[in-house]
Structure 1
Amino acid sequence: MPGAMPPAPTGDTSASGQLTGLLAQNSPYLQQARAGGVRTAARRGLLNSSIAAGSGEAAAIAAAAPIASQDAQQLAQTAQTRLEGDINFNNSSRLQTQQTAGQMDLQRLSDTGAMSRQTAAAADELHRLGITISAQANTATADHANQMTLAQIQSNHSLVSSYLAAFGEMSKNADLPAAARNAYVQEMQTVISQSMALTTQLASRQIAWGT
């Protein structure tokens, strides 16, 4: 399970939004900046109240801008951290769901089915493809996408192997009606075909191992 995510940023997280918020708070720091701007305008002979006030506001904006920019950067980093955490969690959850579904299918079919020449051919073809994870692959450092690809290949290989084993046991049931046997064989062939197609597709993907 991923670690606790930071709270989601609320409100306007842009630099301009943060600046507006800081100016609205009228903190002592900004009050001091405004007063300094007014005094500077007065020293320059700008006694008009609107001009002096404008100079004070400009000074406050200049003082608050770096703070607003830093706050906006921190909020953007928080949002990025949450996004990456959500992506990792969703990928892990999807893989777990696929594995659980495969296990449930095997449990449902554990008492029925039959082994056929087609299934034996499928097993031979799967073995010929050599979709296995070598010791080198187990110790290599791959990026997240490569790890997900290898995990999916392993899951499909395990699922197909379990199907073949289950049907091998069920073929020993001499009392199984022919219609049921044919239905089980057809379903098994569909699962094998789909799993092999997905495994072949994943195996053709370019894997970039870490050094």
Structure 2
Amino acid sequence: MTTSESNSLPFEVNDGFKSAFEPGFYDQILTHDLFEKQVMPFEIKTSIHNCFACDNKKFIKPLELGNFDASVMVIGEVPSDVDFKTPEGQLLVKTLTWANYSLEDVYFTSLCKCETTATPERCYTHLLSEILCVRPAIIISLGYDVGKFFDSNINMAGYTTNLLDKFEMITTYRTIFTMSDRNLYEEYCNHIMFAKHKVDNKLQGVHD
């Protein structure tokens, strides 16, 4: 469904509102000033849902983009990786629940904002703005392709990197690849649990 076909967007749009993350300015995010900018959920949703940064004309963006106060961020490669309605999304939720995550404390997003796109590097700005807004205690990257946008040295699942010198990110497998391989799924579960211990320790340190 395109914006023009929809009766309403899932958030209020102020036509007079201008944002530093206005859709299309994906090449501006790397400036120092924008890294230090206070990024707001309204800006992110407006930028993503009205994006014209690539030639994808379908504008199918299924993610709800909620829980901006979450301490955990899970990043898929495409929306279906973290969409509760897909088989891989359902397995992700079951695994997180098994590992004692509160789903209300998890921000689910993806590198590519549309389900089909050939230019994920142009979605990268949106993802950076989400990270700057949520400021999660831990980031779980589902797949190497997501992680490598932040750290080209990632070469294995379970790799931990320090994103922007501020945010710790753990890379694991895409859930869809673990659904038919028990060994991969066991590793995936270990990575999810490892991230849970990390975030618990960080939050405990804040409260001490």
Q: Report the TM range for the smaller structure's normalisation.
A: under 0.3
Pick 1 or 2: higher relative contact order, CA cutoff 8 A, min separation 6.
Answer: 1
The answer to which structure has the higher helix fraction is: 1
- Structure 1 or 2: more strand by fraction: 2
Structure of greater Rg: 1
TM-score after normalising by structure 2: 0.25
Please report the TM-score for the alignment, with normalisation by the length of structure 1.
0.25
